[in-house]
């Protein structure tokens, strides 16, 4: 299987390299579905240039990447710009490798857990249980789902910084599964200070490392907060100014740029009266962060990785500046829950939603912006349907998990008055 993994990585890298040398790279770099004010390569270039000229990149409203990343990438952008696509491809391949490794570890842990629980399982549930073959099958499916998903390929080809976000998220999940607390907290703090929304991943982190200890939970939270301050301080040392906070976290929270994207914020705040802005801004940001955190954490307290997957998916739907690269990342995690697929009832509906809406976005954008024969309602209708499809997928996965757990202990055939009953969630 290792040789197959390396072949898939090489093939995935070759596909990205091929498209990086075509006109598709510049096209994707300008598409609002992939490039947002937060992850746009052009804005990153502008930030590096201003930083090198001694000008505060956050003095205007153009640059929103963290100072540490601007500083880290400045040498490559200024001296070896032609090698930058190779660097992004390597980042993407590292992400795929981390996802493969965490999948392998996750399945091994599930098999070990099953050994202690299988005596309580019903007799007809073998197909719902993880098998030895899953140690190879599931990691390979995860690898394929990330390497050859058009959304992740095009995100890499367009040189969006979503590639870096995906790498950091994969590292967070990998260190969670491997029980490497210190690295997990540091990386999560860095990504939180950079893009705000990953702060919700503190919940699965606490469930893994401190499920039954309040004192340890408080200690981890204190380390996390301290790490956030340390990362913020490091950014301050780069800029010698706190302006970057308003240009990064402030820009995300206050949603100052109404450029269209695949999210739900831009259309609503374009149409809304200004004196209602603060109330709805807080409402939308709560919806994107803490609104679902407590109920999901309670329900999925025994499945922290599933909780992390659902939270990452909800981030991709409800965050202020989402991109298709964010969607591609959580789609690659779905094979982890292969044993739940039997109960996922809306697969065809979700696939149809994705296929049609993704096909329509480009056409409706052209009709709106270039042809002038449509308006914002057309484009927002497509993005709203796409978000609806994602919600169908997330809820379908959650319901499938609940049904699988129920059937493991009660059997797949439940008889009431001698007739087979159907399991419905209402």
Nearest to 52 by CA among 66, 37, 71: 71
pLDDT digits (tens, 9 = 90+) for 135-181: 999 999 999 999 999 999 999 999 999 999 999 999 999 999 999 99
- Decide if pLDDT at 305 tops 60: yes
Interaxial angle between packed helices 162-177 and 202-209, expressed in degrees from 0 to 180 and rounded to the nearest 10: 20
Residue 330 near residue 309, CB atoms below 8 Å: yes
Spatial distance between the Cα atoms of 342 and 172, rounded to a whole number of angstroms: 29
- Decide if pLDDT at 420 tops 70: no
Backbone angles phi, psi at 408, to 5 degrees: -60, -40
- Mean pLDDT (the chain) is 92
Spatial distance between the Cα atoms of 376 and 286, rounded to a whole number of angstroms: 26
pLDDT digits (tens, 9 = 90+) for 84-102: 999 999 999 999 999 999 9
pLDDT > 70 in the chain, percent: 97
Neighbours of 372 (CB within 10 A): 8
Backbone angles phi, psi at 217, to 5 degrees: -60, -45
DSSP state of 374: S
pLDDT digits (tens, 9 = 90+) for 211-250: 878 899 999 999 999 999 999 999 999 988 899 999 999 9
C-alpha torsion angle, residues 63, 66, 69, 71 (rounded to 10): 70
Residue 152 near residue 329, CB atoms below 8 Å: yes
Spatial distance between the Cα atoms of 81 and 18, rounded to a whole number of angstroms: 17
- Model pLDDT, residue 119: 84
Give the mean model confidence (pLDDT) for residues 52-73.
Answer: 90
Spatial distance between the Cα atoms of 303 and 297, rounded to a whole number of angstroms: 9
Spatial distance between the Cα atoms of 312 and 317, rounded to a whole number of angstroms: 9
Backbone angles phi, psi at 332, to 5 degrees: -70, -15
Phi-psi category of residue 159: left, alpha or beta, with phi > 0 → left and psi -120 to 50 → alpha = left
């Amino acid at each position: 299987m290792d040789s197959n993994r390396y072949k898939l990585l090489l093939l995935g890298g070759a596909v990205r390299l091929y498209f990086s040398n075509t006109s598709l790279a510049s096209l994707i770099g300008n598409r609002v579905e992939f490039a947002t004010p937060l992850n746009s390569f052009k804005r990153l270039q502008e930030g590096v240039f201003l930083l090198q000229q001694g000008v505060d990149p956050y003095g205007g409203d153009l640059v929103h990447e963290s100072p540490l990343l601007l500083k880290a990438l400045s040498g490559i952008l200024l001296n070896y710009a032609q090698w930058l696509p190779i660097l992004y491809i390597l980042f993407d391949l590292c992400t795929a490798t981390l996802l493969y490794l965490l999948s392998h570890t996750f399945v091994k842990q599930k098999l070990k857990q099953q050994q202690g629980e299988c005596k309580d399982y019903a007799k007809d549930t073998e197909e719902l249980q993880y098998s030895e073959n899953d140690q190879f099958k599931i990691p390979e499916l995860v690898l394929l789902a990330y390497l050859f998903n058009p959304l992740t390929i095009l995100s890499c080809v367009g040189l969006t910084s979503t590639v870096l976000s995906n790498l950091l998220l994969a590292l967070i999940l990998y260190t969670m599964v491997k029980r490497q607390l210190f690295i997990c907290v540091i990386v999560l703090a860095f990504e939180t200070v950079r893009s705000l929304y990953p702060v919700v991943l503190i919940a699965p982190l606490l469930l893994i490392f401190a499920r039954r200890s309040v004192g340890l939970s408080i200690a981890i939270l204190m380390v996390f907060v301290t790490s956030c301050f340390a990362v913020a301080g490091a950014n301050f040392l780069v800029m010698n100014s706190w302006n970057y906070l308003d240009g990064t976290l402030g820009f995300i929270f206050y949603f100052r740029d109404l450029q269209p994207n695949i999210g739900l914020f831009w259309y609503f705040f374009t149409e809304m009266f200004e004196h209602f802005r603060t109330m709805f801004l807080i409402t939308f940001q709560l919806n994107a962060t803490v609104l679902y955190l407590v109920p999901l954490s309670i329900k999925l307290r025994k499945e922290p990785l599933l909780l992390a997957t659902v939270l990452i998916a909800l981030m991709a739907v409800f965050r202020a500046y989402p991109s298709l690269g964010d969607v591609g990342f959580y789609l690659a995690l779905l094979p982890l829950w292969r044993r739940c697929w039997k109960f996922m009832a809306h697969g065809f509906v979700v696939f149809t939603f994705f296929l049609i809406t993704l096909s329509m976005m480009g056409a409706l954008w052209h009709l709106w912006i270039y042809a002038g024969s449509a308006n914002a309602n057309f484009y927002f209708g497509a993005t709203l349907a796409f978000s609806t499809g994602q919600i169908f997928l997330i809820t379908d996965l959650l319901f499938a998990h609940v049904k699988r757990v129920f059937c493991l202990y009660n059997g797949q055939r439940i008889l009431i008055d001698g007739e087979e009953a159907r399991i419905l969630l209402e």
